[in-house]
Structure 1
Amino acid sequence: MTGRRVVITGMGVLAPGGIGVKGFWALLSAGRTATRGITFFDPSPFRSRIAAEADFDPWANGLGPQEIRRMDRASQFAVVTAREAIEDGGLDQGSVTPHRTGVAVGTAVGATMGLDQEYRVVSDGGRLDLVDHEYAVPHLYDYFVPSSFAAEVAWSVGAEGPATVVSTGCTSGLDSVGYAAGLISDGSADVMIAGATDAPISPITVACFDAIKATSPRNDDPEHASRPFDRTRNGFVLGEGSAMFVLEELEAARRRGAHLYAEVAGYASRCNAFHMTGLRPDGREMAEAIGAALADARTNAQDVDYINAHGSGTKQNDRHETAAFKRGLGEHARRTPVSSIKSMVGHSLGAIGSIEIAASVLAMENHVVPPTANLHEPDPDCDLDYVPLTARDWRTDTVLTVGSGFGGFQSAMVLARPDRNLA
């Protein structure tokens, strides 16, 4: 960032197999997978019948009956993780100026589960062509308007500054944090609550990915279905979840004695303007985003200690990404450990970029690179160090995390220790 320096001082995570930051890291560092057969609805009509579901109880996570009635599942995720981030960051109503505190929430598909459920109600299970709105939940309008996610988080934490939703497909979780860091860097806000949320495990989402054969049909072995960079991979596994962060200006965070997890040192985004779902094999656009993010961070490719990959588990993406790392980092790419946590928590669409930021920060915090689970037979075309099966102790001071999304979006973020030398 070229203006004020921005740091992460609080985190909240809700992911399959791990509710809360500690549970999430326990899953990743152990290399366990949270993928299973879908339980939210009857998946038998579908090609892919597996997902990474979060064992989330809104009551147990502090939501009241009115909040549960009012909010879609994805909105509930965002509020719960924002509250965890605020508590983790040691913020309270007296320590921030409301009109200088903002919110940025990323999402790819908004209130998918709420809309799906309510359509079933108002259409009487799909029997009525002319739906009866009188049967709808009173807050159905909020499901149609993704901005309600930002509003709910802002109300929950008392933020009266900028509030927005960023929806750029599967890069939303990176882009929302990048956007929020930019507001602090240029002086438009002092504190931002930023991250992303998605709860897309619904019949309509499963049907859409079935249609383009993007998801894995390995229904007889869901635990091992997500296998990025493996020769036998055959698609990604849908997931859900949320991660939210407290972002602050560095010197202000130091003055209040906050724990400094990492600096959001650099961020960039590109679009390939090529194809809605296709990727060029040379990885040029992602490589350009990587180069721009490194320049923004005022750091060199040789300083990157770990790459948190998009690693969706589709042949097209994994090969495109491998080429992008080689193009963006040069020979240093071959010396840098890479891994994909989607192998363990699935692909939660817009939320995953923020969940991967959390994984990157925790890798720095613990000097441990989480593994790529289920990577037994590396694809010869994916010939970098993709850290298979077991976490690796590794000195990690600078992390590159990247995302790729339908529409051609390519985003990259550099996270670094705040005490780095910028001379």
Structure 2
Amino acid sequence: MGVVAPGEPGSKAFWDMMTSGRTATRPISLFDAAGFRCRIAAECDFDPALSGLTPQEIRRMDRAAQFAVVAAREALADSGLGDGEVDPDRVAVAIGNAVGNTTKMEQEYVVVSDGGRRWLTDWTYAVPHSYQFMVPSSVATEVAWLVGAEGPATVVSTGCTSGLDALGHAMQLIAEGTADVVIAGATEAPVSPITVACFDALKATTPNNADPAGACRPFDRDRDGIVLGEGSAVFVVEEAGHARRREARVHADLVGYASRANAYHMTGLKADGREMAEAIRAALRQARITPAEVDYVNAHGSGTRQNDRHETAAVKASLGGHAYRVPMSSIKSMVGHSLGAIGSIEIAASILAITHDVVPPTANLHHRDPECDLDYVPVHAREHPVDVVLSVGSGFGGFQTAVLVAAPGRVAA
């Protein structure tokens, strides 16, 4: 796996932040946010040149694509896959993304519209790569070029569950025999004026600009909205036999995946969490895992009252009495909500929890909402045996997704 998360890039830096309970939220530095309702975000300390990108790549790619390529390079190095080791036709790409190449697209529109003053834009001022900024598929293209993948290349865009659904798509490509290896994950760079303005209009983000580090408070009675984040996590997903034959070091097994929609409301959630609960049950059935075998629940935990109560109800409905015994936490309290990317970043945290037998905390949880009565691992990381992790996501449009990852060999094939 490879990770570019808020704070310093790389998997090690990401896990160090998770276990310390530090937050990456700060005043927005990527643009002048004066006048916006929410002026804070969880930004990546990312220098594309220091991360190995050439001037041509930096010019050609949006920040989201840059994140994906850098994370994919780390994942490839970690996987030990050599050049020519796999037939290119048997290598696929599945990248999750919700808002496309927002940063560059907005910057170029500002130029061709003369700062928004011209209704009829002047295309002669556009850079040669403007079309790539308009189409999210260019992100998958960049990753496919990087790895030489000639199998299916797909962008999965299901809102905030995109990062989980991309991994589910990878599982399906392997299960149906289409690919032996899938470069799968998600990326997002939404900290731009247009995206921040949209969330301001929804009043979904926190107005707590005075306390950036303490602003994202999932499951806390005093929470008042989400904090936007950015980043990427990419994985080399392999068919198990293929990985064994080349003696690969396996971090974890993807053992269960399911997705449901609530067909109810673009942003609203039913209080009973029925659709998320059914996605969890379906993922458990696929993995042939009982609720009592789940060692940790990596929560969606966005920091809104609606989501926290919906998710709590779903975990209770699907795991039964075990819901009160299993630790559950939200890393969004530390890295913010990177929309389509966060599901993959949360899978990276889930895998590292298995590797280290440590559950990351829910930072800033000091006064638990009395209607959220599960074990949310407040403030401090916890040593705890972790073999099976349930990671769940909830997205605009009513998407509900559950993914199960397990220690290598923990679940029979």
**TM-score band w.r.t. shorter chain:** over 0.9
The code of the aligned residue for 2:16 comes to A
Q: Deviations over 1:340-397 (max 9, x none)?
A: 0000000000000000000000000000000000000000011000000110000000
Determine which of 181, 187, 191 is the counterpart of 2:177: 187
Q: Deviations over 1:106-148 (max 9, x none)?
A: 0000000011111111112122222111111110101111111
The code of the aligned residue for 2:121 comes to V
| 1:421 Cα deviation after fit | 4.8
The code of the aligned residue for 1:403 comes to G
Tell me what 1:335 maps to: 325
Tell me what 2:81 maps to: 91
Q: Indicate yes or no: 2:21 matched with 1:31.
A: yes
| 1:212 Cα deviation after fit | 1.2
Structure 1: distance between partners of 2:109 and 2:412: 54
| 1:29 Cα deviation after fit | 0.8
Structure 2: distance between partners of 1:421 and 1:386: 26
Structure 2: distance between partners of 1:329 and 1:241: 31
Q: Deviations over 1:304-334 (max 9, x none)?
A: 0000000000000000000000001000000
Q: TM-score, structure 1 length as denominator?
A: 0.97
- CA contact under 8 A between 2:218 and 2:301: conserved in structure 1? yes
The code of the aligned residue for 2:67 comes to F
- CA contact under 8 A between 1:184 and 1:248: conserved in structure 2? yes
The code of the aligned residue for 1:233 comes to R
Determine which of 230, 234, 251 is the counterpart of 2:241: 251
The code of the aligned residue for 2:92 comes to G
Tell me what 1:405 maps to: 395
Tell me what 1:4 maps to: none
- CA contact under 8 A between 1:50 and 1:222: conserved in structure 2? yes
Tell me what 2:48 maps to: 58
Structure 2: distance between partners of 1:420 and 1:316: 35
Q: Indicate yes or no: 2:204 matched with 1:214.
A: yes
Q: Could you list the runs of 5+ residues in structure 2 that have no partner in the other structure?
A: none
The code of the aligned residue for 2:112 comes to V
The code of the aligned residue for 2:2 comes to G
| 1:24 Cα deviation after fit | 0.5
The code of the aligned residue for 1:213 comes to K
The code of the aligned residue for 2:345 comes to I
RMSD: 0.9
Q: Deviations over 1:376-423 (max 9, x none)?
A: 000001100000011000000000000000000000001012312539
- CA contact under 8 A between 2:255 and 2:411: conserved in structure 1? no
Report SS of the residue matched to 1:121: helix
Q: Indicate yes or no: 2:97 matched with 1:107.
A: yes
Structure 2: distance between partners of 1:263 and 1:129: 52
- CA contact under 8 A between 1:18 and 1:26: conserved in structure 2? no
Identity of aligned residues (%): 68
Q: Deviations over 1:25-51 (max 9, x none)?
A: 011011100001111111111111110
| 1:256 Cα deviation after fit | 1.1
Determine which of 98, 110, 117 is the counterpart of 1:127: 117
Determine which of 290, 304, 326 is the counterpart of 1:300: 290
Determine which of 262, 267, 271 is the counterpart of 1:272: 262
Tell me what 2:131 maps to: 141
The code of the aligned residue for 2:154 comes to T
Tell me what 1:226 maps to: 216
The code of the aligned residue for 1:238 comes to L
Structure 2: distance between partners of 1:160 and 1:299: 35
Structure 2: distance between partners of 1:365 and 1:59: 31
| 1:93 Cα deviation after fit | 1.2
| 1:293 Cα deviation after fit | 0.4
The code of the aligned residue for 1:383 comes to D
Structure 1: distance between partners of 2:379 and 2:297: 16
Report SS of the residue matched to 1:19: coil
Tell me what 1:366 maps to: 356
Report SS of the residue matched to 2:223: coil
Structure 1: distance between partners of 2:296 and 2:8: 23
Q: 1:93/1:233 Cα in 2 relative to 1: closer, same or farther (>3 Å)?
A: same
Tell me what 1:197 maps to: 187
Determine which of 164, 168, 172 is the counterpart of 1:174: 164
Q: Indicate yes or no: 2:321 matched with 1:321.
A: no
Q: 1:169/1:421 Cα in 2 relative to 1: closer, same or farther (>3 Å)?
A: closer
| 1:18 Cα deviation after fit | 2.9
Q: 1:341/1:421 Cα in 2 relative to 1: closer, same or farther (>3 Å)?
A: closer
* Structure 1 segments (4+ residues) deviating >4 Å: none
The code of the aligned residue for 2:245 comes to R
Q: Deviations over 1:41-93 (max 9, x none)?
A: 11111111110011110000110011111011101111110111000000121
Report SS of the residue matched to 2:302: coil
Q: Could you list the runs of 5+ residues in structure 1 that have no partner in the other structure?
A: 1-10
The code of the aligned residue for 1:186 comes to E
- CA contact under 8 A between 2:287 and 2:411: conserved in structure 1? no
Report SS of the residue matched to 1:270: strand
Q: Deviations over 1:217-239 (max 9, x none)?
A: 00000110001000100000000
Structure 1: distance between partners of 2:124 and 2:72: 33
The code of the aligned residue for 1:411 comes to T
